[in-house]
């Protein structure tokens, strides 16, 4: 072939572009690439030391970045709630925030692996109703069996050594969850998003009674955070929240439709989301100024929320102050 033709033709241009790409492919062949995943899990619990009958709920949500069997980064919230047998308030309910990549470890080969989530010294655990009261779960863990096909993973709990806010072991757990790839886009929670959540909840006069449940769903469109601004607002909101407890006459139903009901913080995909009742007519029981707050995790179009505190009250005026609710905050194209 005429060398002059190669110099003048588009072939030379293509070779110049492809050469470094091919070189990179050859040097990285066989190497796993780190990928961001959203985690979401929910289940039931029983305390195995201390008071019998101390049953409740546990939820997990957040973001993890995994390269093969190595966790590169991790931001996870665990919320636990029980029915506080023999206590006047839900002192045993707790929140744990995990940020150490070494907390999540895998063993075994795909598609079935063992996964362990262990709380380390840099993580924090505190009472849901009193964040100033911290306690240690260092070295305590949740263990799972995970099942992976392609980019999707499902996992089921196998054991627990976590302790609650009173030091009792939450030894029996039945937790089901999933790891899904984070969506494309920036971690700024833009666009209209579905918000969903469910889990356990109990009000303060239900000591020793079976826990109740809370669920919500709706649509929220956040206003983008401006430079230098740390608290954001919503352009539009329509969210339905329901709570039912063991006593059928005690409940709460809210329909939030005022954009001012929503506020949030967000930095590098991690922040908080707060829903506050702005008008007495939004709930069937007066809750004006009452709120429920979540840890917020955003990976592009995919988001997760985990409840961390609440001041909502039910129909008999009792606070629902220690919920354990987790769910999604994702665009229609995310999950």
Give yes or no for a contact between 323 and 199, defined as CB atoms under 8 angstroms apart. Answer: yes
Q: Could you give the angle at the alpha carbon of 244 between the alpha carbons of 238 and 247, nearest 5°?
A: 155
- For residue 49, the model assigns a pLDDT of 83
Q: Which helix (H) or strand (E) holds 192?
A: strand 192-201
Residue 44 lies in a domain: yes
Range of 249's domain? 35-330
List the 104-107 sheet strands across, edge first: 104-107, 112-118, 141-149, 152-160, 172-181, 35-46, 55-67, 70-82, 94-98, 124-127, 130-134
Residue 96 lies in a domain: yes
Kindly give, in sequence order, each residue whose CB lies less than 8 Å from that of residue 229, ignoring residues fewer than 6 positions away: none
pLDDT along the chain (335 residues), means of 10: 51 45 38 79 89 82 93 97 73 94 95 97 96 97 96 96 90 96 83 95 72 93 88 96 83 97 95 97 96 96 96 92 95 76
pTM of the predicted structure, to 2 decimals: 0.88
Residue 23 lies in a domain: no
Question: Measured between alpha carbons, how far is 147 from 152 in angstroms, rounded to an integer?
Answer: 8
Residue 16 lies in a domain: no
Residue 302 lies in a domain: yes
- For residue 102, the model assigns a pLDDT of 97
Residue 9 lies in a domain: no
Q: How many domains does the chain have?
A: 1
Preceding peptide of 28 cis, ω within 30°: no
Half-sphere exposure of 228 (CA within 13 A, CB side): 0
């Amino acid at each position: 072939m005429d060398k002059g033709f190669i110099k003048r033709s588009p072939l030379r241009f293509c070779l110049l572009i492809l050469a470094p790409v091919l070189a990179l492919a050859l040097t990285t062949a066989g190497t796993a690439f780190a990928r961001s995943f959203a985690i979401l899990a929910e289940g039931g619990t029983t305390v195995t030391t201390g008071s019998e009958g101390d049953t409740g709920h546990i939820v997990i949500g957040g973001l993890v970045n995994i390269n093969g069997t190595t966790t590169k980064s991790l931001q996870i919230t665990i919320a636990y709630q029980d029915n506080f047998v023999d206590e006047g308030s839900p002192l045993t309910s707790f929140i744990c925030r995990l940020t150490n990549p070494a907390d999540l470890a895998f063993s075994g080969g795909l598609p079935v692996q063992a996964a362990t989530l262990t709380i380390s010294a840099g993580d924090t655990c505190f009472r849901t109703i009193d964040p100033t009261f911290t306690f240690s779960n260092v070295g305590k863990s949740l263990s799972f069996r995970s099942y992976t096909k392609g980019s999707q993973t499902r996992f089921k709990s196998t054991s627990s050594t976590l302790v609650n806010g009173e030091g009792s072991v939450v030894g029996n757990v039945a937790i089901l969850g999933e790891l899904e790839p984070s969506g494309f886009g920036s971690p700024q929670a833009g666009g209209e998003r579905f918000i969903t959540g469910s889990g356990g909840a109990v009000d303060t006069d239900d000591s020793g009674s079976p826990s109740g449940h809370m669920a919500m769903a709706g649509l929220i469109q956040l206003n983008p955070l401006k430079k230098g601004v740390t608290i954001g607002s919503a352009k539009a909101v329509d969210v339905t929240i329901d709570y039912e407890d063991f006593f059928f006459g005690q409940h709460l139903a809210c329909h939030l439709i005022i954009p001012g009901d929503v506020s949030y913080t967000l930095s590098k995909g991690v922040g908080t989301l707060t829903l506050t009742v702005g008008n007495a007519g939004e709930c069937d029981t007066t809750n004006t100024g009452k709120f429920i707050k979540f840890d917020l995790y955003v990976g592009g179009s995919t988001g997760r929320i985990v409840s961390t505190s609440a001041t909502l009250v039910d129909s008999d005026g009792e606070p629902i102050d220690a919920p354990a609710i987790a769910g999604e905050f994702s665009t229609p194209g995310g999950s």
